[in-house]
Amino acid sequence: MNTAAPASMNHRMEFIIGGLLRAGVVFSGSVVFLGGLVYLSRHGLETVDYRVFQGEPEGLCHVGGIVKNALAMHGRGLIQLGLLLLIATPLARVALSLFAFAYQRDKLYVAVTLFVLGVLIYSLLCR
């Protein structure tokens, strides 16, 4: 039996998943950095009154509002979008692993990965 083919496939999948994680972190970090620059360029000289608590604006409390603010090039919207992308990076890694295990026809790992993906999605959607 030739075990070189599965080992090669595992190595290739590890390489792809590693690239996905690196790209996700670099891209999300770049979006956060851009948002910080935009925010500081517009609000960097404002004084802050720490005696009064101001919560998150309603437009930045859900994904649609975050995307709308980011597309309008608002600094806080870009920062929030970058953080959402950072959260989505390991979620994409689990989803990619699910497809890799399905391609290899490894039913046990497909079931475990599907369970983990379900728990992650549930934890993100339900507050």
20-74: pLDDT as tens digits: 999 999 999 999 999 999 999 998 888 888 888 888 888 888 889 999 999 999 9
Q: Is the pLDDT of residue 4 over 70?
A: no
d(CA 41, CA 4): 55
Are 52 and 42 spatial neighbours (Cβ–Cβ below 8 Å)? Answer: no
For 64, the token pair is 């649609």
Are 79 and 42 spatial neighbours (Cβ–Cβ below 8 Å)? Answer: no
**3-class secondary structure, 58:** helix
For 35, the token pair is 């948002």
% pLDDT > 90, the chain: 59
